[in-house]
Structure 1
Amino acid sequence: MPKKKGSRKKIVVATILVLIAAMGIIVWHDGVIGVTSIADINAGNIDNGTAVTVKGELVFRAGNLHTVKSTAGDNIVIFEWAGSSPPLGSIVVVRGVVSSIGTLSDVTSVAVVWIVQ
């Protein structure tokens, strides 16, 4: 049987769409887009109760208490996380709610960055 015309084009288009979707997931997961500056949280520019995503280096852990330092400076944010914790020195993306200057509450995820550090 002869191949249908355009089937190769459909495969190429489908492959491109899958790659774009995969890139979008990686960009979202790694905190490339939609990240709130830790400096803005520390300066009080973000209202309490605001859901945020922050990205930084995990620098301290004592029990469930964790500290993340911004990758671009000396600003830190403190939060509690009872789930599995990445190793110190990991670049992580943390999703939670601003509870006061420099602290997050109701943290829903702490994820190690996959690719984009």
Structure 2
Amino acid sequence: MTATHPSPGPNLLADEEAIALRRRLRRINGQVLGIERMITAGRPCGDVLIQIAAAQAALREVALRVLACHTHDAVTAVAATTTSPEEAAAGINTLVALLTRTGGQSRSP
């Protein structure tokens, strides 16, 4: 997703947020390439695992930022377009299903 050619539909990241996330993803890409170089160089497994954990944490942070954007948009859309509690529940259930599929900690009761 780019600022000049966003994907269609709702849940678009603000330009500033998209730029920041792309910058983070480039850094994560550099971390992953560094891990590959560590493995090629025969670095100790413990060192490699520490770097893998750091890259995973950075990627989780990106996912949380995207999820925050989506959650905001989804809740705003449900609030603006629903006329009944059933419609609101359906919108919230859609969000919960996404959280479940993407590994979110939230689970429906």
| TM-score normalized with structure 2 length | 0.33
Considering Cα pairs closer than 8 Å and 6+ residues apart, tell me whether 1 or 2 has the greater RCO. 1
| TM-score normalized with structure 1 length | 0.32
Would you tell me which structure has more helix in proportion to its own residues? 2
Would you tell me which structure has more strand in proportion to its own residues? 1
Q: Which has the larger radius of gyration?
A: 1
